[in-house]
A = this chain, B = another copy of it.
């Protein structure tokens, strides 16, 4: 069993990005510039955005953080989005989710110029990904593809079972894993209504668990040699931790890991890759790689 080290891989990729950015800067080029809009003071969102700003620094990017109070109106927020759309100094930007309930997240996402939509959430990017055109791929699925690639895990023709059908993981992951240019796998998507979930998992060469239920995937559901990617990050109360909780994946790691050829830990697997993929998308935006 080999552990897939997302933390180390992310560090390597960030160093690669940094080297490329310094080489661009040395040739007199412009550093990539990521802007982030943060509305309100949600603790999780503060942490995520802070980490994104730190990642920008690590990669040699410019970053701009725009903060608004949670009573900003939808109309005002749309005006701010439009300003960033028109600001030529900004290569890409994100609006940190969730937004306050009086604001339509979908409306805000669709207001972002798709050419600056480095989160890859705009329907144009979702649609272009689905039909195999160049586009920003959202961070979690892109990070998983990158881990599989960097660990030279064969995917072509393999049976890949995806647990969960969310818009941000399960569905895009399925679309990518089935495409010739990405996974080229035989893809099965299982969810809460699937009657044959266990049978599907038992036949899988690769399982991507994104179902949001701690320790859902058990040892009696996998075949020996399986590759397991664990996207789950449920906070489970834990009095022994300073924070009062620990992160728990969708996989019963202790019992499943010995059966695997490769497995991602939680934390330290898929998680660290996501911000790093945002950096790759921002670099792509600065280079006008897709648009």
A-side residues, CB < 8 A to B, are 106, 122-133, 156-159, 165, 167, 171-172, 174-175, 178-180, 184, 186-191, 193-197, 199-200, 203
* B127–A130 CB distance below 8 A: yes
- The residues of B that contact A190 with a CB separation of less than 8 Å are 186
Chain B's closest residue to A110 (CB) is: B124
* B197–A186 CB distance below 8 A: yes
- The residues of B that contact A171 with a CB separation of less than 8 Å are 130-131, 175, 178
Q: Give the residue of B124, B126, B133 whose beta carbon is less than 8 angstroms from that of A106.
A: B133
- The residues of B that contact A175 with a CB separation of less than 8 Å are 130, 171, 175
Chain B's closest residue to A177 (CB) is: B189
Q: Which of A106, A179, A180, A187 has the most CB of B within 10 A?
A: A187
Chain B's closest residue to A156 (CB) is: B193
* A186–B157 CB distance below 8 A: no
* A157–B193 CB distance below 8 A: yes
What are 16 contact pairs spanning A and B, CB under 8 A? A122-B127, A123-B126, A123-B128, A123-B133, A126-B127, A127-B128, A130-B167, A131-B167, A157-B194, A165-B179, A180-B191, A180-B193, A186-B190, A186-B191, A186-B193, A186-B195
* B178–A165 CB distance below 8 A: yes
- The residues of B that contact A126 with a CB separation of less than 8 Å are 123, 126-128, 130-131
- Tell me whether A178 and B191 are in contact in the complex, defined as CB-CB below 8 angstroms, given that A133-B106, A159-B196 are known contacts: yes
* B174–A178 CB distance below 8 A: yes
Q: Which of A127, A179, A187, A194 has the most CB of B within 10 A?
A: A127
- The residues of B that contact A187 with a CB separation of less than 8 Å are 174, 188-189
Q: Give the residue of B125, B159, B191, B195 whose beta carbon is less than 8 angstroms from that of A158.
A: B195
- The residues of B that contact A186 with a CB separation of less than 8 Å are 188-191, 193-197, 200
